[in-house]
Amino acid sequence: MATHSRESICCRDEINTLEIEGTHVCSECGLVKDMLSFHESFCTEKTEAGNMILFELCNRAEIDCSTQSSAEHFYQIWVKYHPTLNKSILSACAIDVACKKHKIPRSMKEISVISGVHTKQLGKYEQLVSNEYYPTIASDYVNRFGCKIGLKFTEIKEVIYNISLNTNTMSFNPVALSTAYIYKTSSLDNEKLEELEKVSGVPISTIKRISKYI
């Protein structure tokens, strides 16, 4: 109970939470927790009994109830106005757009993996059905990718800091840009670079090319 009383708003945001050696650390205030306690926990009940596909994909993506509700909202609108489009692809699109809206760091590659929908199909469908644009920034993905390849807390903080200093690279894809900053700031060896390629879906050639501009 005492731990929760010390939590500030930053601790409740998944973007700020790092998993280090079995514990969870807030990258903003440094609070260490033995278990996650986000403001909104993952959904365990179906928001819409008829859409099992969307519910299953939301569980795989480990997104909170608010984001799932937005995905369901987008899906219902798109199905109504585009009834002939593939519903499985629409479900994946709805989750991708909802994650962007709520600033949940899920790349299109990750959505593609959990849904089985190719990224090109995902991109084409989003352009067709969605008028909403929710921009993300490179630092949104650093915690997630950094933890997956085993970076230290201080290294991740340094990467995020370096991103905040440079405003001349905003034209690059934020997912690819985050990997380039991780690669350059942390001086990754070939093994770690291959891990970064695997978790992010960004090719090594692209990571190295963008790193030349930062």
HSE of 69 in the Cβ direction (CA atoms, 13 Å)? Answer: 8
SS3 59: helix
SS3 66: helix
**Which position has the higher pLDDT, 136 or 94?**
94
Q: Is the same domain home to 84 and 121? A: yes
Given a contact cutoff of 8 angstroms between Cβ atoms, the answer to whether 48 and 72 are in contact is: yes
CB atoms within 10 A of CB 165: 7
Given a contact cutoff of 8 angstroms between Cβ atoms, the answer to whether 99 and 67 are in contact is: yes
Considering 74, 100, 129, which residue would you say is the last residue of a domain?
Answer: 129
Q: Is the same domain home to 24 and 70? A: no
Determine the average pLDDT of the residues in 21-25. Answer: 53
Give how far Cα 9 sits from Cα of 38, 40, 143, 178, Å: 9, 12, 17, 24
Q: Is residue 45 in some structural domain?
A: no
* Domains held by the chain: number: 3
SS3 83: coil
Residues in the chain, overall count: 214
Question: pLDDT tens, 25-83?
Answer: 666 665 555 444 443 444 544 444 447 888 888 888 888 888 999 999 999 999 888 88
Distance CA 49, CA 46 (A): 6
This model's pTM is above 0.85: no
Phi, psi of 64 (to 5 degrees): -80, 170
CATH number at residue 86: 1.10.472.10
Q: Is the same domain home to 121 and 56? A: yes
Q: Is the same domain home to 124 and 178? A: no
Q: Is residue 188 in some structural domain?
A: yes
Considering 100, 129, 158, which residue would you say is the last residue of a domain?
Answer: 129
Q: Is the same domain home to 69 and 119? A: yes
Question: pLDDT tens, 97-144?
Answer: 999 888 888 888 889 988 999 988 888 888 888 776 666 788 888 988
Q: Is the same domain home to 109 and 143? A: no
Q: Is the same domain home to 59 and 124? A: yes
CB atoms within 10 A of CB 208: 14
Q: Is the same domain home to 63 and 23? A: no
What domain range includes position 150?
A: 139-211
**Helix-helix angle 87-101:119-129, to 10 degrees:** 80
Given a contact cutoff of 8 angstroms between Cβ atoms, the answer to whether 115 and 91 are in contact is: yes
CB atoms within 10 A of CB 168: 8
Q: Is the same domain home to 154 and 206? A: yes
Q: Is the same domain home to 56 and 125? A: yes
